[in-house]
Amino acid sequence: MPKRLISLPKQALRAILTNKGRSFLTVLGIVIGIASVIALVSLGNGVQASITKRISTLGSSNVTVIPGGGFGPGYRTQQGGQGSSGQGDRGSDGGGMEHPGSGGPVGGGVSSLTFDDLKSLQTGKHPQIKAVTGGVTGSVILKKDGQDRRYSVSGTSASYFSINNLTTEKGSLFKEADENAKSRSVVLGNDMASDLYGSKNPVGRTIAIGNEAFEVTGVLKKVEESGFSNPNAQSFIPNTTASDTFGSKNLSSITVQAKSDKDVDAVKADVKKVILANHKITDAKLADFSVTSARDMLSIMDQVTGILTSFLAGIAAISLVVGGIGIMNIMLVSVTERTREIGLRKAVGARTFDIVSQFLVEAVILTLLGGLIGMALGAFIARTAANMIGFSAVITANAVLLAVGVSSAVGLVFGLYPAVKASRLNPIDALRYE
């Protein structure tokens, strides 16, 4: 490597350290710009990763059918009724009526999905379908420490638990036979069981849902909340029982589990075909239901968070332009102050390339130093903010490379004009400059 190239960084560092205060203020603009970009991009990536994780808990091979799409041909509705309010007596530990309902259940709602749709998908004629469950949602008011509290009640198929990887901590889950028999059994989410019974074992006790007593057969193990539903805070009863309890003949949703991730698209098409036929709808555009998968939601959320992250990073990058202008101003001042030095260098044989290189190297060193400090500061800000908000910041190699590349580019672009101006000085005029 030529000695001239080795000496350039040394000369640049010497010139930078000669004016430490001015160099610090110059670097500060780049530090703020890079730190802003790194922090915002890392937080955006963290939000994206958090959303992806939550959606993934829904099951990457699950397909969800929800009512909606207009009042087309074959649209069926059923307005869920309200049960009468009931006030039971607290029973003994041996299974009496504990936490009795003080208000009737609220459930049903308007839906185009029926139990016939559910049965059509459970026939076993669809080889790519592993399991199917249908839900009837509602709620009930129960007594908690003398206060009325509303709790969510979900009517589900027995397969719901396996589809959503839910297991019991105590007791057992209800089975398909309980659905057929319209059993009055209830499985409590972990948080709901703790809320109602504290440290006591709720299995074998009864609670009132509407005017009926339901026996607690099991308590679910605590699971991570998906963001779309929280099984820990719900209770589950057979959907056939829920249909009678909530006065609804229709389902609020149907979940279909494909045998593998690669079968999801085929299952979506199959499910849509079956339900369209059930509803006697020939034009798919007039469907009174929607079929989605976790992958669909992930794709949409990735696009949204990606756009937001890019937008925020773009706003933060404006500060890099401001920092670059600061570097240009300082380098112009440096050229003016070192006019005689430049004249002397040219007088003893320095070429235009040598002068340009010297000032460009100074500008690049300043911006690279600012970039490195900015990366460290941005990572610290991102992690601190993420911990306060409650998720992890994701600092990617691309973000780091972008910061280094942008800071170097800023030095080259905004240092070029002062460097060229310095190289064009007439050596005689420069030596005479006062």
Predicted confidence (pLDDT) at residue 70 exceeds the cutoff of 50: no
DSSP reduced 3-state for 393: coil
Average pLDDT rounded to a whole number, residues 39-43: 84
Average pLDDT rounded to a whole number, residues 11-36: 80
For residue 71, what are the contacts with CB-CB under 8 A and spacing of at least 6?
Answer: 288
Q: How far apart (Å, rounded) are the C-alpha atoms in residues 135 and 408?
A: 57
Q: How far apart (Å, rounded) are the C-alpha atoms in residues 34 and 27?
A: 11
Look at the alpha carbons of 290, 73, 242, 138 in this order and tell me if their dihedral is positive or negative: positive
Predicted confidence (pLDDT) at residue 184 exceeds the cutoff of 50: yes
pLDDT at res. 240: 92
Neighbours of 148 (CB within 10 A): 11
pLDDT at res. 57: 63
pLDDT at res. 75: 37
- Which amino acid belongs to residue 13? L
Share of the chain above pLDDT 70, in %: 84
**Where is pLDDT greater, at 354 or 107?**
354
Average pLDDT, the chain: 78
Share of the chain above pLDDT 90, in %: 16
pLDDT at res. 273: 92
Predicted confidence (pLDDT) at residue 293 exceeds the cutoff of 60: yes
Predicted confidence (pLDDT) at residue 281 exceeds the cutoff of 50: yes
Q: What does pTM read for this prediction?
A: 0.58
Per-position b or e across 358-382, b if 16+ CB within 10 A of its CB? bbbbbbbbbbbbbbbbbbebbbebb
For residue 364, what are the contacts with CB-CB under 8 A and spacing of at least 6?
Answer: 408, 411, 412, 415
Q: How far apart (Å, rounded) are the C-alpha atoms in residues 43 and 172?
A: 42
pLDDT at res. 219: 94
Q: How far apart (Å, rounded) are the C-alpha atoms in residues 284 and 276?
A: 7
Predicted confidence (pLDDT) at residue 7 exceeds the cutoff of 90: no
For residue range 320-351, what is the model confidence (pLDDT) as tens digits? 777 778 878 887 887 777 777 777 777 777 77
pLDDT bucket at 387, cuts 50 / 70 / 90: confident
Query: Quick one: angle between helices 20-56 and 352-389, nearest 10?
Result: 40
**Where is pLDDT greater, at 39 or 323?**
39
Q: How far is CA 138 from the centre of its chain?
A: 27
pLDDT at res. 241: 92
pLDDT bucket at 106, cuts 50 / 70 / 90: very low
- Of 210, 239, 262, the C-alpha closest to 106 is 210
Q: How far is CA 410 from the centre of its chain?
A: 33
Q: How far is CA 93 from the centre of its chain?
A: 43
Average pLDDT rounded to a whole number, residues 203-218: 89
Length in residues, the chain: 434
